[in-house]
């Protein structure tokens, strides 16, 4: 287990991935840098002639990877929830990064249980870095899910496999510093921008109470001031007050600054989410 944890640290550091929660788009960018691509099941028919083994798998697997001639294709079901989709895709990325046996096809929950178990562990530790869980003393699946968006059942398995005290390593220390520094940088930008937004609103109401001479920027700030969203200290998404992932979150106005720093939660803002 320790070796797999180190592999995920190495993966994040090599690819400069310091975000939490981990974004689906980040993994997709990695796949494309490796010369691969993602194929939703809804578009898989275009590959049936080239890869005849693909069609029968669509009904039984959530995802699988095909190593073709000069290409790597990850086929992924369109019917998965956001969190499940992220986990399953991270599993397939694990196959690729760990250089598992490339016998043309690797499928999620296939017969190669050794490789499948390793890819599962890779996905869990990639989404929820154990060094962060250890430093924050997260001990329940609910806490891990709220911080990282790892599926709760996978968080249970991760916590069950981790030792009571996880030993530190140069990679774990380096990754934790990167994760912490990025979180601190986001908070500093946010705190610096909020007073400017509030000052602009105050100025508008003092100088132009009728609203007739509002600039486009102040108009945007005025509209967004009517809506409040919630973000966590380490998160990259904004949420509604009743969202499961808004636990221990603090309120922010949904203004241009918030939209720059955060993305909409796929669960409580499904219409706005890029995914």
- Per-residue pLDDT reduced to its tens digit, 3-60: 999 999 999 999 999 988 898 999 999 999 998 999 999 999 999 999 998 999 999 9
Confidence of residue 201 (pLDDT cuts 50, 70, 90): low
- According to the model, what pLDDT value does residue 205 have? 59
Tell whether the model's pLDDT for residue 212 goes beyond 70: no
User: pLDDT tens-digit profile of 73-108?
Assistant: 999 999 999 899 999 999 999 999 998 865 555 554
pLDDT category at 131 given cuts 50, 70, 90 is very high
Is-above-0.85 flag for pTM? no
pLDDT at 139: 86
pLDDT at 16: 93
How does DSSP assign the chain, residue by residue?
-HHHHHHHHHHHHHTT---SSPPHHHHHHHHHHTTEEEEEGGGGGGGTTT-TTSGGGTTT-SEEEEE-SS-EEEEE-SSS-HHHHHHHHHHHHHHHHTT---SSEEETT-S-HHHHHHHHHHHHHHHS-HHHHHHHT--SHHHHHHHH---HHHHHHHHHHS-SSPPP-HHHHHHHHHHHHHHHHHHHHHHHHHHHHHHHHHHHHHH-TT-TT--HHHHHHHHHHT-EEEE-SS-SEEB-TT-GGGTT-EEEE-SHHHHHH-EE-TTT-TTT---
pLDDT of residue 274: 55
| Mean predicted confidence (pLDDT) in 221-229 | 59
Q: Which residue has the higher pLDDT, 46 or 256?
A: 46
């Amino acid at each position: 287990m320790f070796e797999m944890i180190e592999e995920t640290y190495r993966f994040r550091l090599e690819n400069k991935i310091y975000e939490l929660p981990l974004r689906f788009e980040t993994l997709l960018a990695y796949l494309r840098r490796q010369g691969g691509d993602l194929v939703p099941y809804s578009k898989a028919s275009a590959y049936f002639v080239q890869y005849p083994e693909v069609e029968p798998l669509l009904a039984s697997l959530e995802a699988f990877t095909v190593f073709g001639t000069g290409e790597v294709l990850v086929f992924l079901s369109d019917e998965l929830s956001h969190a499940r989709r992220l986990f399953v895709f991270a599993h397939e990325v694990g196959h690729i990064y760990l250089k598992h046996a490339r016998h043309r096809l690797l499928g999620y929950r296939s017969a190669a249980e050794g490789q499948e178990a390793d890819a599962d562990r890779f996905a869990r530790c990639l989404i929820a870095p154990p060094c962060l869980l250890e430093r924050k003393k997260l001990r329940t699946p609910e806490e891990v899910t709220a911080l990282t968006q790892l599926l709760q059942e996978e968080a249970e398995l991760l916590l069950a496999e981790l030792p009571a005290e996880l030993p530190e390593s140069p990679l774990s220390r380096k990754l934790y510093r990167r994760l912490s520094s990025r979180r601190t940088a986001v908070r500093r930008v946010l705190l610096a921008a909020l007073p400017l937004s509030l000052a602009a609103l105050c100025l508008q109401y003092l100088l132009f109470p009728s609203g007739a001479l509002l600039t486009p920027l102040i108009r945007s700030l005025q509209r967004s001031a009517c809506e409040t969203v919630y973000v966590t200290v380490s998160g990259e998404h904004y949420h509604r007050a009743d969202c499961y992932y808004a636990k221990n979150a603090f309120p922010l106005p949904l203004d241009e600054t918030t939209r720059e720093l955060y993305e909409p939660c796929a669960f409580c803002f499904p219409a706005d989410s890029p995914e």
